[in-house]
Structure formats: C-alpha cells, structure tokens
Structure 1
C-alpha cells in the first residue's frame, strides 16, 4: 500500500521534484490504528514548531489533521503515516500512507558511531549521515547505529534510547537529541530521569531499550557490551505505552 498526496492533491512532477530536490524540510511519522494515533497533539506541535523555525510561519494542526484524514480515505484504518513538509521558500505538505509497522520482534544490537545530527531538535529530512552509519552498522552484523558525541551517548540513528539502572529505573541520556514522540508519551506516565551516559559506563546499566514511532524494543547489545533483556521491566514500559489512548483524526 502506498498513497501520496501533496497539499491535498495527487502529486505531479512539477509539484514534487523542485522542493524535494532541494532536500530541505521537516517531517513526523506515526502509526495509525483504527484511524487514530498516539500523541497526535505532540505530532502536530512538532510540525508547527519546526515549520516556524524553518519557514517562519505556523502550520495549523487542524489543517494537517484534515490532510491526513483525506489521504487515509474511507478505506484505510491502519497505516504508517508520514507528514513531510518540504520546499525552500514556500513549503508544501506531503502525506504518505503506507503499510503499518510493528515493533521489532527481536532485541536490537547497536554499533556506536561518532556522529550527531545537525539541528538535532528538529526532525528534518535529508538524513544522509544517519542512513549511512545505519547501513555500515548492518554490514558489521548489527541492527542499527548508536549516535555518540566524543563517547557520550546521544540517540540511535532512528530512535531514542533509554537505559535501566540497578533499581530498574529508566534513564534517558542527557544530550542534544530529538525529543521523540514515544519518549514524550512515556515520560508522561513513567518516572524517568536524565543523566550523561558514556560508552565507557554502559556496563553499569542492567538493560536498555529504544523508542520511536513504531513503539518500544529491547536492546541486547551495544558494541561489545551485552545486556540481559529485563522482561518484567520492559513489560512495564510496554504496558504504559499500550495504555496511552490514541487520538482520532476526524
């Protein structure tokens, strides 16, 4: 399944190519179930804030909701939806509807790389560095890349990462990362704290997990550090995430 609309209309080459070739813009991604999405208010706020920063103008949430609802049509209830705002001067809003995804079935293995995203607080398009390091990690036998800054853990290439201390409490790295929607949702219902996490200190944590638009996934390895998957602790995190109500588009 693939459905694309730009500003509520079928895409044309004239509309599609100039803006995307400039490789400038921002986006958000969400999982839609029964025409609802968790943290829809946060997704709309993210788009509006990024639009104000990159283009100097607001992006009304009601407008975005209407574009998503239209792109889903009357027949699609479950999907992966990506809203991409692109263009150099005058932005266009593209809604991409694809097959829904679920969290990885197996724990993730991450390879650390010394790389951080430019303008990290914005979920912007043009993630060449993330994709490149992710592919290098996969070629080395890992599932993805863990971005670090001079040995300080930041985020994974496509997700936030959290660690479990000896008491089972959740620790997010203190760094310049993207404040992910799933991370924000979990912070609402799960006691957490932030602290600087260094690669040299990974052994003092009992576990780790990553969060992004497809949910929560355990981490079993970072470089040569192995983590035992803490089933009860991760089940508690998953239960809190599952209990978060989803918001309708209509």
Structure 2
C-alpha cells in the first residue's frame, strides 16, 4: 500500500504563500530562522526558539520580532495543515525596500529520530556570525554534500588548528567519562543543546565547555564517546574521520532523560 506524502504547507504572515511571497526567499534570502518539532501542539524549548528569533531579528533588521505574533502564526499554519504533530520552520525576512519583518512558517511531516551511529567528516570551515541560525549557507551545504559523497553522514566544521566547532547542521558533544563536554569555539547555541544543559544540571551532572581539537592533547581521541543533537533529536557518533567511537548506551539514556525532562510548552 502506498503511503500518502505529507503535504507541506507554507504561509507568509498568516496567509498561504503566494508566488510574490516566495520571491522573497528566492531572490532576497537574507534572513534567519529556527526549526522546531511540534508534538500534540506543544514544543520543547519554545521560549528559546522565540528568543532566538527575536535576537536575530534585532541584530539583522534592527527591530524586534514579537513572540506572541510568532506563536499565533505557527498555530495558524498548523490549523491550516490540519495537524498537531509536525516539523516547523519559522523564517524572518525583511521586505525588499525595508518595512516590517515578513514571517514565513512552513509545516512538514514530523521528523523521525536518527537510527544508528553517525559518521562525521572534518572540514576547515567557519560560518560567518555562527550565533545566528540562517538559511542558504552555501558553505555548509557544499561541505555536507562532499561529506555525503565520501560516505559520511555529516560535515564537522573546524577552525584553524583543527579546533572543533560544530556539525554542519548539529551541535556536537563529547563524553569524558564524567561530564558532557561542548567544544569551546564559536558556534550556534542549539536549542536541543541548551535543553540538554538544563536537564543535566537538574540531574546533578552539569556539562562543561572545553577546547576540543582533532589531534593533540585536547584531541577527540581523549574522549570515550561523542554525540550530535539538533531539533530532530540526539544521535551517537561512531566515527570522526578515521577515529572510531564506541556507542555508550548509558550516556544516551542520560541524554534522553535530560532532554525528556524539559516540558512541552503549548503554542
């Protein structure tokens, strides 16, 4: 039996996207976004997503982006799609010529958790303004494409000297047997990463930040395990280049508990 494909819905400022609306991301793609998973009308870390959008909008466009307005637009798009479980992206763009921020909300099928350990190919690439989550980053997509062609799942972005920063679309963490270690380097502070931080703190297992490099005394080889995370969930890392990592099932249970302890906020 053929499964019917989820019908993706796109809205601009609360109405179905028109051809003129879609010209904005197509021709004037400068903007920012956040990606979130909605389950039964609720979102883990909703306040973090709204704060991210507002901060980026102020920095890029010099104007706030009201969280109440964003929530209303997400609800409207979900109602239009007739779903309560979905993958949702909220993009902020400035209308050509200036004016009020245009908000695009897309609703797609819910993400399925990753299965199996992930493999990462290190690449020398640093994103401009890495603290802002933004669409259309050619470098990330390019290195991700090359990593896939070389048999890897994702690119691992590194700075001069082999300093580990982040995955192309994920945050990366390491396990030294006592603490979760986040690389101390310019990178996006992921919402899932923050929720893990908070959950580990509540469990009495606070995470730490520490320089991580590909080689040397701070190299990835000193760690017992590694993992990546984003809005789609948490997945173990089985390989970085030629360096193999064992999958630590107990660590994954701790991370799942820490993430699961975050309540879902109603839209």
Instruction: Please report the TM-score for the alignment, with normalisation by the length of structure 2.
Output: 0.90
2:242 counterpart of 1:227: no
Aligned equivalents of 1:35, 1:212: Cα separation in 2: 19
Q: Is the 8 A contact 1:25 1:54 kept in 2?
A: yes
2:124 counterpart of 1:114: yes
Q: Is the 8 A contact 2:199 2:261 kept in 1?
A: no
Aligned equivalents of 1:107, 1:77: Cα separation in 2: 30
How big is each residue's C-alpha offset from its partner over 1:165-208, in whole Å with a ceiling of 9 and x where there is no partner? 0x231000000000000011111121100000000011110000
Q: Is the 8 A contact 2:93 2:103 kept in 1?
A: yes
Cα deviation, residue 19, structure 1: 4.7
Aligned equivalents of 2:25, 2:117: Cα separation in 1: 38
Matched with 2:54 is 48
Secondary structure, in 3 states, of the residue corresponding to 1:73? helix
Picking from 28, 35, 53, the partner of 1:29 is 35
Secondary structure, in 3 states, of the residue corresponding to 1:199? coil
1:5-154 equivalences under 5 Å are 5-73=11-79, 75-87=82-94, 89-90=98-99, 91-150=101-160, 151-154=162-165
Q: CA RMSD in A?
A: 1.1
- Where structure 1 has 5 or more consecutive residues not aligned to the other structure, the ranges are none
Aligned equivalents of 1:116, 1:15: Cα separation in 2: 31
Secondary structure, in 3 states, of the residue corresponding to 1:76? coil
Q: Is the 8 A contact 1:31 1:37 kept in 2?
A: yes
Aligned equivalents of 1:70, 1:23: Cα separation in 2: 23
Matched with 1:218 is 236
Instruction: Please report the TM-score for the alignment, with normalisation by the length of structure 1.
Output: 0.96
How big is each residue's C-alpha offset from its partner over 1:93-118, in whole Å with a ceiling of 9 and x where there is no partner? 00000000022111100000000111
Q: Is the 8 A contact 1:20 1:86 kept in 2?
A: no
Secondary structure, in 3 states, of the residue corresponding to 1:147? strand
Moved >3 Å (runs of 4+): none
- Comparing 124-133 with 153-162, greater Cα deviation is found at 124-133
Picking from 182, 199, 221, the partner of 1:203 is 221
Aligned equivalents of 2:135, 2:250: Cα separation in 1: 36
1:174-213 equivalences under 5 Å are 174-190=184-200, 191-200=206-215, 201-213=219-231
How big is each residue's C-alpha offset from its partner over 1:3-29, in whole Å with a ceiling of 9 and x where there is no partner? 110000111122220454122000000
Cα deviation, residue 233, structure 1: 1.1
- Comparing 240-249 with 27-36, greater Cα deviation is found at 240-249
- Where structure 2 has 5 or more consecutive residues not aligned to the other structure, the ranges are 1-5, 201-205
How big is each residue's C-alpha offset from its partner over 1:77-133, in whole Å with a ceiling of 9 and x where there is no partner? 100000011235333100000000022111100000000111100001221111110
Cα deviation, residue 136, structure 1: 0.3
How big is each residue's C-alpha offset from its partner over 1:202-236, in whole Å with a ceiling of 9 and x where there is no partner? 11100000110011110000001000011111111
Aligned equivalents of 1:84, 1:14: Cα separation in 2: 16
Picking from 167, 174, 180, the partner of 1:156 is 167
